[in-house]
Amino acid sequence: MPTRWRKSRKHRGSRTCGWGQIGQHRKSGSR
């Protein structure tokens, strides 16, 4: 699934990277 990581590669080490792991994107505001 390289296409799936293509977007994650940019957010590497960012809070957006922890999607289902921590769900930080929810606290920051559902996009």
pLDDT (tens digit, 0 to 9) for every residue of the chain, 31 residues total?
555 555 555 555 555 555 555 555 555 555 5
Please give the pLDDT value at position 11. Answer: 56
Please give the pLDDT value at position 12. Answer: 55
Identify the domain containing residue 31 by its residue range. Answer: 1-31
> What gap in Å lies between CA 4 and CA 10, rounded to an integer?
12
> What gap in Å lies between CA 10 and CA 29, rounded to an integer?
19
* End-to-end Cα separation, the chain, in angstroms: 22
> What gap in Å lies between CA 26 and CA 19, rounded to an integer?
9
Q: Scanning the structure block, which residue is given the tokens 């792991």?
A: 21
For the chain, what is the domain count? Answer: 1
pTM: predicted TM-score of the whole model, two decimal places? 0.13
